[in-house]
Structure 1
Amino acid sequence: MLRYLLDPANAITASGMILSGVALSLVTDGRIELAVAVALWAMLADHLDGIVARRIRNRSEAAAKMGKSLDGFSDLIYGAVFPSIALLQLHGVTLLSAAVGTTLLVAGALRLSYFGITGLSTDRCFTGLPLSYDVPILALLVLAEPFVQQPLFSWLLPGTFATLAALHVSSIRVPAPTRSMYIAIVLFSVAASAALSIRALFFA
C-alpha cells in the first residue's frame, strides 16, 4: 500500500493529511490560532494535489484510484472534522454547537459522496459548496474574534457553520477554481496563516 505514496500527487495528499492531524492536535489542546494556521496549509495541499495529478504523464490507473480515495478522506478531515472540533472549542460544548458540528460532518460526507459519483459538470462547476471553503472562513472568523463583541461572536460561529452545512448539500453551482483564483487562495492562506501564527506566538 505504501508504494502508492511514491506517486507525487498521492504524496502531497498524504502530507495534507499529516498537516490535518497536526491541526487536530493543536485545536484539541486549545491552540486555536496555530491550529487554523496549519489547517490552511492542509487545504492548500488539497488544491495542489489535483494540479499535480493532472500534470503526471502515464499515471497508473491504480495510483489514480488510490489518490481519489485518499483525497476524499483528506477533504473530510480538514474540511469537516477539523471545523467541527474548532467550533466546539470556540463556542464551548453546548447542544447548539454539538448539533451544528454533527450536521457539518454529515453534510461534508454527503457532499463528498455525491461528488464522488457525479464529479464536475461539463461546464466545470461543482454542485454544492466545496468543503475547501470552510477553513478559510474559519480563519476569517478567528482573525475577527478580537473585534467582535460577545455574545455576537458566540452566535456568529454556529450560524456561519450551519449555513455552510446547508450550502454543502444545496444545489448551488460553484465554478471550479481558475488560475487567478488559485493564486488568490494561496496569497490569502499564506497571509492568514502568518497573521494567526504571529498572534498565537507573540500576543497570546
Structure 2
Amino acid sequence: MLAFGRDLPNICSLAGLLCAVLSIYYGILGNFPLAIIGMLWAVVFDWGDGLIARRMKERTDEYRAFGGQLDSLIDIVSFGICPAVFLLSYGNFSPWFLPGAFVIVAVSAIRLSYFNVFGLVDDSTYMGLALDNNVLILAFVFLFSSIFSQPIFLVVIYALLMIIAAFNIAPIRTPKFSGRWFNVLLVYALVLTVIYSWML
C-alpha cells in the first residue's frame, strides 16, 4: 500500500490532506484565518495532483485508479468536513449549526459519489458546482468578517454555505477550471494567505 504513497501525484494529494487536517485543527481552536489558509492550500494541492498526474505518461492504470480514489476521499475531508467544522466552530458549536454541518458533509458525499460514477458532462464541464469552489468563495467572503458584528456575519456565513451546497448538487453545468487557471488559483491563494496572515 505504501508504494502508492510514493507516487508524486499521491504525495501532492496527501499534502492537501495535511492542509485540511491543519485547517480542522485551527478551526476547532477558533483561529479562523489559519483555518481558511489551510483550506485554500488544500485546493491548490487538489488541483496540483491532477496536473502532475496528467503529465506522467508512464503512470500505470493501477496508480491512476488508486490516485482517483485517494483524491476523492481527501476531497470529502478538505471540502466537506473542513467547512462543516469551520461553521460549527464559528457558531461556538451551538446545536443550531449541526444541521448545516450535516448538510455540508452530506452534499459533499453525494456530489463526490455522483462524480465517481458519472464523471464530467464533457471534458470541461461539471454537473453542479465543484466542491473546491466552496472554499474559494468562503475564503473571499470571510475577508469582510470585520465589517459586521459576529452574530450578523454568522448568519451570512451559514446562509452562504447552504446556498453553495444547493449549487453543488443542482442540475446546472459549470466549467471545469484547469490548465492555465492553476496559475490564477496560485496567485489567489498566495494573496489571500498574505492577507489572512496579516489578520492574525
TM (norm. structure 2) is: 0.94
Aligned residues: 200
CA distance in 1, matches of 2:33, 2:3: 35
In structure 1, the partner of 2:136 is 136
Confirm or deny: 8 A CA contact 1:91 1:157 kept in the other structure. Answer: no
Query: What secondary structure sits across from 1:129 in the alignment?
Result: coil
Task: After TM superposition, list the pairs within 5 Å mapping 1:48-59 onto structure 2.
Answer: 48-59=48-59
Report the Cα offset of residue 148 of structure 1. 2.1
CA distance in 2, matches of 1:40, 1:92: 22
2:99 equivalent to 1:74: no
Report the Cα offset of residue 103 of structure 1. 0.5
Report the Cα offset of residue 183 of structure 1. 2.3
Confirm or deny: 8 A CA contact 1:19 1:42 kept in the other structure. Answer: yes
CA distance in 1, matches of 2:129, 2:174: 6
CA distance in 2, matches of 1:40, 1:115: 22
Confirm or deny: 8 A CA contact 1:125 1:174 kept in the other structure. Answer: yes
Residue type matched to 1:177 in 2?
A: F
State the Cα RMSD in Å.
1.4
Structure 1 segments, 4+ long, off by >6 Å, are: none
TM (norm. structure 1) is: 0.92
In structure 2, the partner of 1:192 is 192
Report the Cα offset of residue 120 of structure 1. 1.2
Confirm or deny: 8 A CA contact 1:20 1:39 kept in the other structure. Answer: yes
Report the Cα offset of residue 179 of structure 1. 3.5
Residue type matched to 1:126 in 2?
A: Y
Confirm or deny: 8 A CA contact 1:38 1:193 kept in the other structure. Answer: no
Residue type matched to 1:131 in 2?
A: L
Instruction: Give 5+ residue unaligned stretches, structure 1.
Output: none
Q: 43-52 or 31-40: which moved more? A: 31-40
Instruction: Give 5+ residue unaligned stretches, structure 2.
Output: none
2:29 equivalent to 1:33: no
CA distance in 1, matches of 2:41, 2:153: 25
Query: What secondary structure sits across from 1:103 in the alignment?
Result: helix
Report the Cα offset of residue 4 of structure 1. 0.4
